[in-house]
Amino acid sequence: MSAPLLEVSDLVVEYRVGGRIVHAVSGVSLGVRRGETLGLVGESGCGKSTLGRAVLQLTRSTGGEIRFDGHSLTAMRGETLRKMRQRVQLIFQDPIASLNPRRRTGDIIAEPLIVAGVRSRAERDRRVRAVMEAVGLDPDTVMNRLPSEFSGGQCQRISIARALVLEPEFIVCDEPVSALDVSIRAQILNLLEDMKNRYGLTLLFIAHDLAVVRAVSDRVAVMYLGRLCEVAPTDALFVRPAHPYSRLLLDAIPMPDPDIRPIEGVAVGEPPSPIAPPSGCRFRTRCPRADAICASEMPELRLLAPEQYVACHHPLTGS
C-alpha cells in the first residue's frame, strides 16, 4: 500500500500550566490515506483539538514527528512551513467565534489568498466567488456583509469556503457541526462530502458524536486521555468494537429510537485529569475489565483483526 498522505508518529504534545504539565497527547501514531476520511472521536479534553492543531503545527509538538506527503512538518520552520500550510487547512468548531467580526465575508474568504501571495485582485475575486458558489452562498448577497449578520450554519459555510479557497489537499475538521442544530447539521455534513469529492480532499474529521462520525468516515480512531484506544474501519468499530472504551462510547449514545431502552449504568466515573494520568492503561480507572497488568503496563496499539488496531490487554473479541 502507498504511504499515507499524513503520517503521525509517536506524537507528544504537552502544555505547561502553572508549573504543572498537561499531558494532552501522549504518544499517538496514525496515518491518513490519500482520499479517505479518518474520524477521530473521544470525550472533551482527551486531546482531539490538540492533535488536530499539531497536524498543522499551529501547536508545536513536544515529541514525535508529523509527515505530510513525505515531508516532515515538525522539522519545518518559517517560510517553508507557511508554504506547506497552504496544502493543509483547518475548520473550527465554533463557526461564529472563528470569523473576524469586523471583516466583510468576501475579505475573510480572500485572506488565505493574500497570505499565499495572490496579488491580482481580479484573480482573488474570481476564486472567492467560485468557492462561495461551491459552498452554497450567493456571492452578490453575502460578499459585503459581516459574520454577525449570518446564522451559525451560514458562518460554517463561510469557514468552509475560507478553508477551500486555496484548494488544499487535506483539511482538519475540528467538530465542524457540533455547534449546529440538527436540521443545519445535515446540510453541512452533506456539503463537506460534496466538497471532498469535488476537490479530491483527504479529511481528518474530529467529533464527539459517534453518529456523525459514522456518517462521514472510512475509518475511525478512538482517543482517550491523550492516547489512541482503537483504530478500525468504520463498520468494524460500530459492529465489533474491540476496546472497552469504544464499547462504552457506543452504549452511551442516546438512540433516537423509542424501542431501544437505554441500558442504565453502562457508564461510570469521569475521565481523570490529564495532569496526572493513571499509570499503565489510562482507561483502567473506569474499565470493567481492568486487572493488575492494566495498572503496570501501558497497552500498545496492535493488530487484532484485518485493519483493526486496539490498545488493550484484554480486548473484547467476537461480537
Partner 1 sequence: MSLLSLEGLTVDLPTPRGNLRAVDGVDLALAAGQTLGIVGESGCGKTMLSRAILQLLPKRARVGGRVMFEGQDISKLRPDALRRLRGPALAVVFQDPMTSLNPVLTIGTQLVETLQAHLAVDGREAVRRGVELLAAVGIPAPEQRMGQYPHQLSGGMRQRVAIAIALSCEPRLLIADEPTTALDVTVQAQILDLLARETRRRHMAMILITHDLGVVAGRTDEVAVMYAGRIVERAPTRALFHGPRMPYTEALLAAIPKLDSAPHTRLPTIEGRPPDPTRRMPGCAFAPRCRYAEGDCVVGKPGLGPVDAGHEFACWHPR
Ligand X SMILES: Nc1ncnc2c1ncn2[C@@H]1O[C@H](COP(=O)(O)OP(=O)(O)O)[C@@H](O)[C@H]1O
Binding-site ranges for ligand SF4 (CB under 6 A): 243-244, 281, 283-284, 287, 289-290, 294, 299, 312-314
Q: Shortest gap between Cβ of 314 and ligand SF4 (angstroms)? A: 4
Residue 282 binds ligand X (CB under 6 A): no
Are residues 281 and 298 in contact, defined by beta-carbon separation less than 8 angstroms?
yes
Among Mg ion, ligand X, ligand SF4, none, residue 274 binds (CB under 5-8 Å by kind): ligand X
Q: Which does 24 bind (CB under 5 to 8 A by kind): Mg ion, ligand X, ligand SF4, none?
A: ligand X
Instruction: Kindly tell me which residue out of 37, 49, 234, 308 binds Mg ion, with binding defined by CB under 5 A.
Output: 49
For residue 209, the tally of other CB atoms under 10 A from its CB is: 14
Pair 162, 100: CB distance under 8 Å: no
Cβ(188)–Cβ(124) under 8 Å? no
Question: Which listed option, ligand SF4, ligand X, partner 1, none, makes contact with residue 49 (CB within 5 to 8 Å by class)?
Answer: ligand X
Nearest CA to 124 out of 103, 139, 102 is that of 139
- Is residue 259 part of the contact set for partner 1 (CB under 8 A)? yes
Could you give the CA distance from residue 273 to residue 189 in angstroms, rounded to a whole number? 32
Contact flag: residue 98 with Mg ion (CB under 5 A):
no
* Main-chain phi, psi angles of 2, to 5 degrees: -70, 160
Closer to partner 1 at the Cβ: 123 or 181?
A: 181
Contact present, 257 and 275 (Cβ < 8 Å): no
Q: Cα(38)–Cα(31) distance, rounded to whole angstroms?
A: 9
| Region of 15-23, 78-86, 276-284, 288-296 interacting with ligand X (CB under 6 A) | 15-23
Q: Taking CB under 8 A as the rule, does residue 249 contact partner 1?
A: yes
Output the nine-digit C-alpha cell for 4. 499515507
Select the span of 50-58, 65-73, 207-215, 276-284 touching partner 1 (CB under 8 A). 207-215
Burial string for 158-196 (b: 16+ CB within 10 Å, else e) reads: bbbbbbbbbebbbbbbbbbbebbeeebbebbbebbeebb
Is residue 202 within the footprint of partner 1 (CB under 8 A)? no
Residues lying near partner 1 in the complex (CB under 8 A): 43-44, 151-153, 181-187, 189-190, 193, 208-212, 214-218, 234-235, 238, 248-249, 251-262, 264-268, 270-271
Residues lying near ligand X in the complex (CB under 6 A): 15, 17, 22, 24, 42, 44-50, 274
